[in-house]
Amino acid sequence: MDSRQFYESRLTELQLQLKKLKQKKSSFAWLRLGAVVAIVAAFYFLWSLGIGFVMGAIILLLIVFVQLIKADLKNHAKIEHTDKLIAINENELQFLSGNYFVFDNGSEHIPKQHEYANDLDIFGRASLFQYINRTTSEPGSRQLADFLKAPAPVADIINRQEAIKELSAKMIWSQDFQANGQKNKVTFSAKERLEKWMQASDIFSGFRPWKWLRYVLPAIIITIVVLYIFSLVGNTIFYTSLFLFAIIAYQINKYVAPVHEQLSKVSDEMRTLYSTISSIEKEAFNTSLLQQWQSIFRQQNKKASADILRLKNILDRLDIRYNLVLSAPLNLLLLWNLQQVLDLEKWKKNVQNNFNSWFQTLAGFEAINSLGVICFNHPSWVFPQINQNYFSIHGNEIGHPLIPKEKRVNNFINIEDNSELMLVTGSNMAGKSTYLRSIGINTVLAMTGSPVCAASFAVSHVKLISSMRVTDNLEESTSTFYAELKKLKAIIDRVNAGEKVFILLDEILRGTNSLDRHTGSKALIKQLIKRKAAAIIATHDLELANLKEDFSGSIRNYHFDVQVSNDELYFDYRLKPGVCNSLNASILMKKIGIEL
């Protein structure tokens, strides 16, 4: 079953499930109404038999009523989950039809300066991030962005490849994992609130007598109340005791309130955290990376999900502070707020060393799961071979993943070592820039551990660096030409430092006159050859191709051309050996009305 068939079949199945769940919802509503009617009927028909029969029947019916409410709440949760699964499959079907704009585009991750992110459309609308992103939390989104911003070590790439392959075969689990994460988005704000509280000193646990006072004080006031009910103590003792305990409860609440205000807003996100981590804990994984990450949630027979659920339950109990009807008696008789804060501080002590690793590991799962979905959606993509030696790159049928398959023209690349500089000439709109971006974006994917849009792909472990899309900066009073010079300086500095970089340059020094541009470009190419830097340079300057006469073993000329017929241009977007000898600028200028 291919990906489209899977999503269509899954969608049909889920829609049928949703229909049944909604029918159950209607049934529960009628059953609850029936229970209420039965309670009224019990009064009417059993009253003559005695109060004992009435109370017994009402208690039984109330138990039934409560169970119906619980069952209805579970059914409602299943409806919500199924709705999310339906949306996930509908989005994937849109994705397969070329509409991937339903996914978050990661614009918040756009760096002001980066070696290649802006040139290759890594973030933002119609970006690589938007294409592959299936994360549901802010930490997960940032982790995926970090994957795309820098190459992983070779060992990590290999481990990720195996993990991605495994998750691509677990699409039902993958979708459940995504749906759980969509309940209430886990944010950095929640993480920071919890971190701040964890780093703060304990309010009550530091005073050791609270460990026994939390039980002794409620026992005292409850005993006094019971004795008062049976007239064994007088009004003075009773009311004085209530007054004193009210003061104690009030003073405790003054310290509890700031903690509760700090943590109350994370309760819903803890529910999401519990659901997602629980789904990881329950699944059987075979690859070493996923097993290693899973073990972080399952340490020494302790499950992180159980700890998170415990925290959520404590926070839910603490929320009773907002209910004056229940809060007053519970705090007066049980010192309710004190009990919950002591439980919170105990929880903090037990999990403090694991807390940050939960968020980090969950983020890793989300990022790898995103790549697993892409792997499933593109079974024709291949996992690249990563070589340690610098530098070589080989590939066939390499395409730009963001161009729809029916419009995409695939090409090849073959650079044997870093003594070979690839020079690509060609006419306007023939495909030079797209080719550079295809090579660049697939290299980025390869360095994350992802499959790539190619029939075969092998590349050395490198840091990509590019200069393709340069603009001026009014804020920094920087012209386009100076902005490009700054980029080129960064590239030269890395080359001179002997770093293992793979350079992509498109129309260098375009901001100056043609003579300076040719002279500067020629000098730069010579310097790159001298330093044995791996590079692809695309240019309109055909004279640069003549450098092969002086550097025959160091320059490989390729080109994109255009066919002209009756003043019409026809592009095949195919990379070919040699130098371009066809030009199209004059034809294009004529078409817009420039008289030549």
What CATH number is attached to the domain comprising 586?
3.40.50.300
| pTM of the complete model beyond 0.85 | yes
Instruction: Answer with the one of 66, 83, 99 that is the final residue of a domain.
Output: 99
Same domain, 256 and 344: yes
Indicate whether 145 belongs to any domain: no
Question: In the prediction, which pLDDT does 42 show?
Answer: 77
Show Cβ contacts of residue 241 under 8 Å, excluding neighbours closer than 6 positions: 220, 221, 224
Same domain, 359 and 394: no
| Domain membership of residue 401 as a residue range | 385-592
Instruction: Answer with the one of 48, 73, 99 that is the final residue of a domain.
Output: 99
Indicate whether 176 belongs to any domain: no
DSSP assigned state of 380? T
Same domain, 253 and 358: yes
Question: In the prediction, which pLDDT does 48 show?
Answer: 72
Q: Are strands 534-539 and 421-426 parallel, antiparallel or unpaired?
A: parallel
Same domain, 415 and 347: no
Give the number of domains in the chain: 3
The rounded distance, in Å, linking the Cα atoms of 164 and 346 is 38
Question: In the prediction, which pLDDT does 182 show?
Answer: 94
Indicate whether 170 belongs to any domain: no
Same domain, 442 and 556: yes
* CB of 509 closer than 8 Å to CB of 395: no
Same domain, 193 and 262: yes
Question: In the prediction, which pLDDT does 590 show?
Answer: 59
Same domain, 397 and 542: yes
The rounded distance, in Å, linking the Cα atoms of 475 and 40 is 75
Same domain, 349 and 467: no
Indicate whether 338 belongs to any domain: yes
Across the chain, how many H-helices and E-strands are there? Answer: 19, 14
Same domain, 338 and 391: no
Element holding 498 (H helix, E strand): none
pLDDT tens digits, 557-587: 999 987 766 666 778 899 999 887 766 555 5
Instruction: Answer with the one of 339, 367, 395 that is the final residue of a domain.
Output: 367
DSSP assigned state of 543? G
- Where the chain has pLDDT below 50, the residues are 472, 474-477
The rounded distance, in Å, linking the Cα atoms of 502 and 463 is 6
Indicate whether 380 belongs to any domain: no
Question: In the prediction, which pLDDT does 474 show?
Answer: 42
Same domain, 409 and 315: no
Indicate whether 254 belongs to any domain: yes
Indicate whether 319 belongs to any domain: yes
The rounded distance, in Å, linking the Cα atoms of 7 and 91 is 10
* CB of 372 closer than 8 Å to CB of 516: no
The rounded distance, in Å, linking the Cα atoms of 266 and 199 is 17
Element holding 308 (H helix, E strand): helix 304-318
Show Cβ contacts of residue 504 under 8 Å, excluding neighbours closer than 6 positions: 116, 119, 436, 439, 440, 464, 465, 466, 467, 468, 535, 536
What is the SS3 assignment for 393? Answer: strand
Same domain, 354 and 421: no
In this structure, which amino acid lies at residue 592? I
* CB of 446 closer than 8 Å to CB of 463: no
Question: In the prediction, which pLDDT does 588 show?
Answer: 53
* Terminal-residue alpha carbon distance, the chain: 58
Indicate whether 53 belongs to any domain: yes
Same domain, 417 and 557: yes
Partners of residue 433 on adjacent β-strands: none
Radius of gyration of the chain (CA): 33
In this structure, which amino acid lies at residue 563? Q
Q: What is the dihedral of CA 116, 118, 119, 120, to 10 degrees?
A: 80
